Amino acid sequence: MSDSVWISEVGGGYGNTIETTGHLYSHRSKYQQIDIYETRKLGKLLMLDGIIQLTSYDEFVYHEMLANLPFYAYKNGTPRRALVIGGGDGGVLRELSRHPELEVIDICEIDADVIEAAKKYLPETSCGYLDKRVSIHIGDGSKFIEEKKNYYDIVIVDSTDPGGPGEPLFNGEFYTGIKAALREGGVVTSQGESAFLLPDIVARLNRITGKVFKYSGYATLHVPTYPTGVIGACVASDFAEVTTPAREVEPELQKVLRYYNSEIHTACFVQPNFVRALFK
């Protein structure tokens, strides 16, 4: 086909290649290069600085898990206040908005252009912004968190990889700030990278969450369009262990969710030996 262009995410001697049929959006923002493509098999594709952020095909896995692992790991009643750091595409917001118990859903995204692009070209994910409980804050999440004390029940760090604007979201001070921003029972969940692709970052992140919080766990999520086909999520709390859900998913909600369920919540924290070895 003449309109077919294969694009790749490459790095570290490894790559993912996807057939696209249209380049819907290309823009250099203050922070990063933003590209949105139409693909032959995977629906829409969002890339930032040449790194795949989501495809319509499998974004439900990542977004359901990032939102629901902390929501159901929370063991001090039901969470009422949530914060998303990063997550400009709106996918985590969409999943949080399925929970009527939440009273506050804040998002702090550094790049307003990602939000605008998602609203225009990715309505299936950016529909999260339609929820009236959502308040948008534009800025660096590492600064935003310093101003909040004892306020949120769940914090979700849906960031890009270290190296770009996401760099300050991968250090101990940031997690100490999150701990101070959480009230009793609070749970944090972060984009935790792939143990196949970035073992050093996985080890570093888990060392940080393990040091700052009393309870922590590393979950594996299957996302075929991320390089190596998996990505991790770090979940941590000072209140109670996070590897089991406190509550069953409400039956009506369970009909809508395509990945998260109570059994997956427990199973995703079971790690093979090479991943366990990273945490020693």
Query: Quick one: which segment of 37-45, 71-79, 166-174, 207-215 binds ligand SAM (CB under 6 A)?
Result: 166-174
Q: Pick the closer one to ligand SAM by CB: 143 or 211.
A: 143
Site string for ligand SAM, 38-57 (x = CB under 6 A): ----------x----xx---
Q: Pick the closer one to ligand SAM by CB: 111 or 153.
A: 111
User: Is residue 241 involved in binding ligand SAM (CB under 6 A)?
Assistant: no
C-alpha distances (whole Å) from 260 to each of 52, 196, 224, 257 are 22, 23, 16, 6
User: Is residue 95 involved in binding ligand SAM (CB under 6 A)?
Assistant: no
User: Is residue 9 involved in binding ligand SAM (CB under 6 A)?
Assistant: no
Q: Pick the closer one to ligand SAM by CB: 36 or 102.
A: 36
In the annotation, is 158 catalytic?
yes
Q: Which SS3 state, helix, strand or coil, does residue 77 take? A: coil
Site string for ligand SAM, 116-155 (x = CB under 6 A): ------------------------xxx-------------
Rounded CA-CA distance 159/63 in Å is 12
Q: Pick the catalytic residue: 131, 158, 200, 238?
A: 158
- Out of 191, 194, 209, 225, point to the residue binding ligand SAM (CB under 6 A): 191
| Residue 157: both structure tokens together | 């760090």
Among residues 94, 107, 121, 127, which one has the least CA distance to residue 257?
94
Beta-ladder partners of 190: 157, 234
Residue 246 contacts residue 220 (beta carbons within 8 Å): no
CA dihedral 93, 234, 78, 64 (to 10 degrees): 40
Q: Pick the closer one to ligand SAM by CB: 126 or 216.
A: 126
User: Is residue 83 involved in binding ligand SAM (CB under 6 A)?
Assistant: no
Among residues 239, 220, 219, which one has the least CA distance to residue 229?
220
Among residues 56, 45, 50, 41, which one has the least CA distance to residue 8?
50
State the residues that interact with ligand SAM by CB under 6 A.
31, 48, 53-54, 62, 85-89, 108-111, 114, 140-142, 158-160, 165-166, 168-169, 191
Active site residues: 158
